Amino acid sequence: MSENQQEQNLEDVQQHSSTEIHNSFETSSETIEQAQPMEVHHHAHHDHGKKTLKSYFWEFFMLFLAVFCGFLAENFREHYIEEQRVERQLNIMVDNLDYDITRIDNNQKITQYGIAILDSLRYEVVALINGKKDYNRFYKLREGLSAYGEPRFNSSAYDQLTTTGLLRLIKSDSLILHINDYYERVTYMVDAAVNFTNIINEKTTGLYNEISDQTPFNDVITDFKVQTAGKKDTAFEAKANAVFESKQLVLIKSDKATLHKIYNYLVQFEVAMKTLDARMDYAKKAADDLKNHIKSVNN
């Protein structure tokens, strides 16, 4: 190969190498440009400043005020509800007192009738002590011997006020004292009189059963039926009256000592019934006074 040809080949090789290097550099440059990382934007931090003691105080004060106002509202609501309950129970108590007055009045009428029977029976026993031998009127009067009333008081409103503690919420101290006096003292007086009358009645009835002969009333007892309150068994009364009129009744024991003993029991019985009547009259007036007192305070 000639020198000229060799030189020509050398130049071609150098030119080809230079072109490859240049292309490689451009490719590398493009790759580097594409691999550049994304720009990151950092947000600036703003300093709000530190809270002062005054700020903390006002936050606490507002929180305390909210809680306190809520407590007051709840307390007011509960107090209002309790006042409404007290007012309702006082209205019910007025109805209870009306019931007491009616019941006392009805029982007084029965008791006063029984007192009249006892008074006549005492005089009849005195006549027997003095030698009277006709015992029919004694038996007839005896049929009304246990005629006396036992009033029952309606204390439902008072019980509700005391058990729930609402009685203390009544604003009038004088009314509280008045209510307690009626339900603790007045009703007790009547109940005590009823209990004592029951004891004397039991003794008197026991002695009466010892000295009386009930065999003439055998047929009458067969037809006897218990009647509801306020009703009379007219058929039974007619048969009993027939016995009083047609038969000569006698006593199993008619000695003066026994008659004096029954008389003494009748005296005790009449005194007990008159005491009961007087206390019922007192209780009726007390109930009316309390009812008016409640109305004057509750309206």
Give me the residue spans of the domains in the chain: 58-223+230-298
The whole-number average pLDDT for the span 43-53 is 60
Angle at which helices 256-298 and 173-181 cross, to 10°: 160
pLDDT category, 33, cuts 50, 70, 90?
A: very low
Is the per-residue pLDDT at 67 higher than 80?
Answer: no
How do residues 80-129 score in pLDDT, each as one tens digit?
Answer: 567 788 899 999 999 999 999 999 999 999 999 999 999 999 999 999 99
- N-to-C CA span, the chain: 143
Is the per-residue pLDDT at 161 higher than 80?
Answer: yes
pLDDT (0 to 100) of residue 193: 97
Residue 15 burial (CB < 10 Å; 0-12/13-18/19+)? Answer: exposed
How do residues 182-193 score in pLDDT, each as one tens digit?
Answer: 999 999 999 999
CA distance 71 to 68: 5
Name the residue among 113, 84, 126, 99 with its Cα closest to residue 263: 126
**Mean pLDDT for all residues in the chain:** 82
More confident residue, 76 or 221: 221
Range with the poorest average pLDDT among 143-147, 168-172, 181-185, 270-274: 143-147
The whole-number average pLDDT for the span 234-260 is 86
pTM over 0.85: no
pLDDT category, 32, cuts 50, 70, 90?
A: very low
- Give the other-Cβ count within 10 Å of 143's Cβ: 13
Chain-centre distance of CA 113, in angstroms? Answer: 36
Q: What percent of the chain has pLDDT over 70?
A: 76
Q: What percent of the chain has pLDDT over 90?
A: 51
